[in-house]
């Protein structure tokens, strides 16, 4: 199991802290609003909105919050006009990053991303500079519930998912972009607790990090942008040795 996979599960454990300060709800609300604006307010006819609603419910977001965010997107009630932007750049050690943002002021956000990335030892890149190394995939996070890696692998094969990243607490199921809904339905019908469903940029090749200080430098950048108010998602092509990842987790 790669350190990057391990980090994905550590991030999930930290999500409860994000929810307490409202950050998770804010991110989901933005996604609901944009999805409704782009494809209409009916989840049955809008796959992106349906995915956002599923994630909102998985986080126990109140129904009135969900409905309000959707109505902002359809224009039934007034709301902020958001714009989606994808930035590409590099963290220390040449680690490639994709930073997805939703902002009501793109000039402010661009300035902040550029300056903060530079301060943390990275730099912003031109569009297309790193995106070629990533594939868009569906990712379903399920509770492992004591199942073995072999048990999960059988379900992955049966569901026509492409891959998995096993963890004793929660396992990431990776699917083709177009198969996300069908694979999610399979795991729900087979009794799995689905924690999160999302689209991710999965790197085709990884930079291995075997030094703890280097690992901390890269993770500091990732964490910084994950905590930024305008950032929805951060993807990067690093792989940290599991022993180092465990040590970092103990220190956090």
In this predicted model, what pLDDT tens digit does every residue of 191-239 receive, in sequence order? 999 888 889 999 999 999 989 999 999 999 999 999 899 999 999 999 9
d(CA 243, CA 194): 28
d(CA 59, CA 227): 18
Q: What is the pLDDT of residue 18?
A: 53
Q: Where in the chain is the domain with CATH 1.10.10.200?
A: 3-74
What CATH class has 3-74? Answer: mainly alpha
Q: What is the pLDDT of residue 8?
A: 60
Q: Which of 249, 220, 233, 246 is nearest to 95 (CA)?
A: 220
State the CB neighbour count (10 A cutoff) for residue 204: 9
C-alpha separations of 247 from 1, 6, 10 in Å: 15, 12, 12
CA dihedral 10, 16, 22, 28 (to 10 degrees): 70
C-alpha separations of 223 from 11, 126, 176, 184, 194 in Å: 9, 22, 27, 28, 24
Q: How many residues does the chain have?
A: 252
pLDDT in tens, 108-127: 999 999 999 999 999 999 99
Tell me: domain 83-132+206-251, CATH 3.30.70.980, correct? yes
Average pLDDT on 133-142 reads 94
Average pLDDT on 90-101 reads 96
Q: What is the pLDDT of residue 160?
A: 94
% of the chain with per-residue pLDDT over 70 = 91
Topology of the domain comprising 134-203 = Alpha-Beta Plaits (3.30.70)
Q: Where in the chain is the domain with CATH 3.30.70.980?
A: 83-132+206-251, 134-203
What is the model's pTM? 0.85
pLDDT in tens, 235-251: 999 998 888 888 887 88
Q: What is the pLDDT of residue 14?
A: 55
Beta strands in 91-237, from DSSP E residues, in sequence order: 96-103, 123-125, 134-143, 163-165, 170-176, 194-203, 207-209, 231-236
């Amino acid at each position: 199991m790669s350190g990057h996979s391990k980090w994905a599960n550590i991030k999930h454990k930290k999500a409860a802290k994000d929810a307490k300060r409202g950050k998770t709800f804010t991110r989901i609300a933005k996604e609901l609003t944009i999805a409704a604006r782009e494809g209409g307010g009916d989840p049955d006819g809008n796959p992106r909105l349906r995915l956002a609603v599923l994630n909102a419910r998985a986080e126990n977001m109140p129904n009135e919050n969900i409905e309000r965010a959707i109505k902002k997107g359809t224009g039934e009630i007034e709301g902020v006009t958001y714009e989606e932007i994808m930035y590409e750049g590099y963290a220390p050690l040449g680690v490639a990053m994709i930073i997805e943002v939703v902002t009501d002021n793109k000039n402010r956000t661009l300035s902040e991303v550029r300056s903060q990335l530079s301060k943390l030892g990275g730099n912003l890149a031109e569009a297309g500079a790193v995106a070629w190394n990533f594939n868009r995939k569906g990712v379903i996070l399920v509770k492992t519930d004591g199942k073995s890696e072999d048990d999960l692998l059988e379900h992955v094969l049966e569901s026509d998912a492409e891959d998995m990243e096993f963890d004793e607490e929660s396992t990431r199921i990776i699917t083709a972009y177009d198969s996300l809904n069908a694979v999610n339905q399979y795991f729900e019908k087979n009794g799995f607790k689905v924690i999160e469903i999302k689209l991710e940029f999965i790197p085709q090749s990884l930079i291995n990090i075997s030094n703890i200080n280097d690992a901390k430098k890269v993770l500091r950048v990732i964490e910084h942008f994950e905590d930024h108010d305008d950032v929805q998602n951060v993807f990067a092509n690093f792989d940290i040795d599991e022993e180092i990842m465990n040590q970092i987790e103990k220190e956090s």
